[in-house]
Chain A
Amino acid sequence: MPSAAFWSGVNALRSLGIGLVGGAAIGWLITRLARRRTSRLQDDIRRSKRQLQAIFDGITDGLIIVDRAFHIVAVNKAEASFLGREPQELVGRPCYEVYCRGGRPCELCPAHETFSTGKVALVSKPELAGGYHRKGVDVYTFPVVDERGETVQAIQYIKDVTDRMKLQNQLREVEQLTGIGHMAANVAHEIRNPLIAVGGFARQLHEQLTEDDPRREYTQIILEEVTRLEQILKEQLTLEKHLVPVMGQVDVNQILKDVRKLLSHGILSSHISVVGDLAEGLPITMGDANQLKQAFLNVMSNAIQSMPQGGTLAISTQQRGERIIVRISDTGPGIAPEHIDKLFVPFFTTRTSGSGLGLAVTKRIVDNHGGQILVESTVGVGSTFEIRLPIVRSTQEFEHRKLYGEVTGGGRGEERRSGTGGPA
């Protein structure tokens, strides 16, 4: 019979054995659990990271994170694609090298302020101050703070404000329009009456002077200028009336043919060749024939006047989806890029004659028809005006579109584009 000592030894061994087995099991379990936990944490981190990356990349404005040495730590897709690079190509490089090709951080960078104050900083439209890499943006910098409260990185948020600027410009344009419109409507009467007296008596004087009297030149000048002022007032009143279109069925090709006929004198006297490419079977649409005639007339007479030494006037129409596209091109000197944006602003003109209202009126008319007018111009090559009119088959459809905001009725439906190539 085994002794008690034996049994206690066995027991000890057994318990040790169990302990060993159990310990190993627990250890395994703990490791397993820990590993699972770690991998879950890692998963979480990865997921969070992916989410962050998705948010980072999902933001359509530019985002860059830089450290205190202005090295790029991260950049989102929008910003990378703006720079024409992949994000990984940019990470690690100094931002000033990428953006400004400079050897040190740009002076204008708002990150300087964020690093020194730990606060959000902003530089608005840095192109106004010059030196920055990009036009039409606001740059905000936000601090990234470590556990000790120190700003270790800065997030640069590059907000494209061209839309806002465009809106502001449009607003200014509208204000200008209505302001000038109201003013003109109120004072047209006041201006016109004295003008008539000035012109009328100047005419009498002119007629009283003999043909060879040198003073006739002066009275002639007075008469010409009075006529010009009267013309401006007349056009201003046209602009002021809201140009509500009187809708009827219109054949755009026919209107263009009529306008061409109206302008045949100018075309002949300037030795301009006309190339017409009017699409056959262009649908009839609803519109105000007289207004559209006026709109095309303004664009075409500008084109003719831009080619006093001759050139080519190309007129084409085509159907593109639910739109009629009218293109009027000239081979004139082109429009300087800085003038493109002002083209449709009332009283803007580069010519010494003319009121500067022609294209403003044209745009009003096109807007009222729910269309758009676009300009493409290259200095030294010529300009193309593209007028896009929606195909509207009935007055009801037009009213419906107006109701749902597709026809703006004085809204601002134009887009502008400009090419700047070619000899200046």
Chain B
Amino acid sequence: MKAKKDYEAVIGLEVHVHLKTKTKAFCGCSTEFGQEPNSQACPVCLGFPGSLPVLNETALDYAIKVGLALNCQVQEYTKFDRKNYFYPDLPKNYQISQYDLPIAKEGFLDIEAGGKNKRIAIRRVHLEEDAGKLIHKEEISLVDFNRAGIPLLEIVSDPEINSPEEAYEYLTVLKSIIEYLGVSDCDMEKGSLRCDANISLKQKGAKELGVKAELKNMNSFKAVKDALAFEIGRQGGLLDDGKAIIQETRLWDAKLQETVSMRSKEEAQDYRYFPEPDLVPFIISREKKEEIRKSIPELPAQKLLRFTKEFGLSEYDAKILVSSKQDAEYVERLMRAYPREDKKPLVNWLIGPVTALASASNLIISELKIPGGIDELIDLIINTEDGKISNLTAKSVFAESVSTANLASNIIREKNLFQISDASALESEVDAVIKENPQSVQAYQAGKSNAIMFLVGQVMKKTGGKANPKVVQEILKRRLQ
């Protein structure tokens, strides 16, 4: 669907991330993923009568850390509230959340989309507990409470995102920051990162906002992008036809690749928020805030800047290499170990063959097991740079080394793959090729300079790829003059 008129999309994102604490937000149960259903539950997270919540201070610290990293004002005084609604996965039928005094508010996130830099305002960052998980069988529904009570951070943007691409970029940058902070796995497949989106359309340049739809059930950043794109088309089509948009919640159907209405606003819930009387308000001291601020590592944006300056990386290359903290640290180690001033060959290797091989096994580059580690990789690159082996050979040696767990240097030695650059050692092969290919020789001598490449190829074939093509070409040129 494509709208006829020119509309501007107004998008706000609500991101939930599981905080990687050892124990749940308000009890001592483990937060480990993938355990036997209901094996990680106690009277507190099951909401048994008489049980009381006690805040996991690490969860609070993590929330403050994220707030600071997102340039928010971290509140001096924060409290929890109860969000009341009935649902079988919610053991107390209220969720401990935060309403009017979130831990952090009024921050921002810088993104780059469509070649332009843009600052997206963060409205609030608050801490709450996750619900359990419903498992629907044919006749019955079961509840697994292992997830109930896991600390969940909700990060809400202002509606300042104007395209699905910007939304995608916002999520990518946000995820990367949170991963850098080490406070969450941000794994959408495990449900440790979830995203809902609000979207409305308005006439381009208009001030008044349109009626919004809330989109849920997107299981990847791409799904968020696709759902938003679909919704722009759907809402645009309705507006084109002069029809009204209904304020409603819509679910993304990944199979159909469309959004489907779930509930309209008339059925919207009244959550009856009120201060959680079982928890006392928390004072976040300036000292604590500063202590946590000091523990924040270099974030992706700063790292990118430093990499471009320190290692002469292009912004494009640097951006790829810093997106994961683990990779960035790995890359930095490589950069420092690489003995030459010009880092470009190393960068090309990382973005080229290393990335290709890693992603083929669904790994990030730092996870790729290279026999002999970074020293072997650097030796291989230096040897290639020095012309001791050909670029092509180096790549296949690298692949073989990773798949057979044999050192690259061993493979080169065993198979005697060092490039032959000594002209005297190549003379006889060149003579033979000239003799065997008179037409090509003639063509070259008649002025078809391209023909020499065929002859070079024939020499390479004869030497099993070991000949240095540059040297071969020089000999040929000399001989055929």
User: Do they bind each other?
Assistant: no
Question: Which residues in A have some Cβ–Cβ distance to B below 8 Å?
Answer: none
Question: Which residues in B have some Cβ–Cβ distance to A below 8 Å?
Answer: none
